[in-house]
Amino acid sequence: MTQFCRTCAVVAFFLPAGLLCSAEPQLASPGLPEWEKGQQAMLEGRTEQAIAAFEQSLKQDPALVRNYLSLAAAYLALGKEEQAAEQLKQYLDKQPDHYVVRGEFAELLLRLDRLEEAREQFERFEADIQDHETLARQHLVHCHSRLLEIAERLEDDYAVHLHRGIALYWLARQRAELTDAGDELSSEGLLCQSASEFVLARRERPEEARPCWYLHEVWSQLALCQPATRWLRAADEAAPFSYLTPAEQRRLHLACRRHAEDSSHK
């Protein structure tokens, strides 16, 4: 069983013991007995019977959306990845805030060579988890590595430099927290590498705000105020006309406000 299949299976089996999805009914569902029957069939390796039970459960209660996750796990167990992808899409249509499932859905789309769809899902996954510290630390380096891979395959030079730079930036943030990084490249070295990538991304698309914002972040991490301020201004100028994630927009706004307050006190 693949790592993705294990993830879906674990989520599907343990949903009842954890936080139930907000889209599901709070009262006892008429589809719950069939869903439980399907779960038992999955445990016993009777995957086809499990699929039939999950489908019957959905007929009895279309709002019992955990069935889509269980169906995805069942189809993956049978090696039917296209069918699993369709079930995950339906699940996320109803449960858009299940971030980890979205990340795994993106991985599946990439494995299916559906590059544009995979990129869309990885980008949304990235935007969703930026304000969740634990998830960000766990997933952002890998997420941007995947986006880099997709950009290389699509021959998108701007995205290649941008996502390599962001991956290096988050790797540097992780490295800075280690007490002993051994002989590996230092956090400062990684930040300098990321800055070089952002400069190249900026050269490809001068109108974009994201390279400027991350250059501000890099130089701020390195405590170099003059270049940090320069790139903060450039990011603020470009922001109304280009893309930033919601978290990046908020951080840019706060950074500009802090800079204005600091300037007024001088």
Between 10 and 202, the higher pLDDT residue:
202
Distance, in Å, from the CA atom of 261 to the CA atom of 224, rounded to the nearest integer, reads: 19
- Identify whether the C-beta of residue 122 lies closer than 8 Å to the C-beta of residue 143: yes
Neighbouring C-beta atoms of residue 195, cutoff 10 Å: 23
Distance, in Å, from the CA atom of 196 to the CA atom of 120, rounded to the nearest integer, reads: 25
- Statement: residue 157 has pLDDT above 80: yes
Between 143 and 182, the higher pLDDT residue:
143
3-state helix, strand, coil in the chain (%, to 5): 75, 0, 25
- Identify whether the C-beta of residue 41 lies closer than 8 Å to the C-beta of residue 47: yes
Q: C-alpha distances in angstroms, 32 versus 37, 59, 86, 154?
A: 9, 11, 22, 44
- Identify whether the C-beta of residue 75 lies closer than 8 Å to the C-beta of residue 51: yes
- Statement: residue 19 has pLDDT above 90: no
Res 183: pLDDT? 52
What's the CA dihedral at 108, 7, 247, 206 to 10 degrees?
-30
- Write the CB contacts of 24 (distance below 8 Å, at least 6 apart in sequence): 63, 64, 65, 66
Distance, in Å, from the CA atom of 255 to the CA atom of 166, rounded to the nearest integer, reads: 19
Res 262: pLDDT? 81
List the domain boundaries for the chain.
Answer: 1-81
Res 180: pLDDT? 57
Average pLDDT over residues 189-212: 98
Q: What is the DSSP letter of 256?
A: H
Res 254: pLDDT? 97
Residue from 55, 39, 50, 43 nearest 87 by CA = 55
Q: C-alpha distances in angstroms, 128 versus 11, 99, 172?
A: 19, 7, 21
- Statement: residue 5 has pLDDT above 80: no
Tell me the pTM. Answer: 0.88
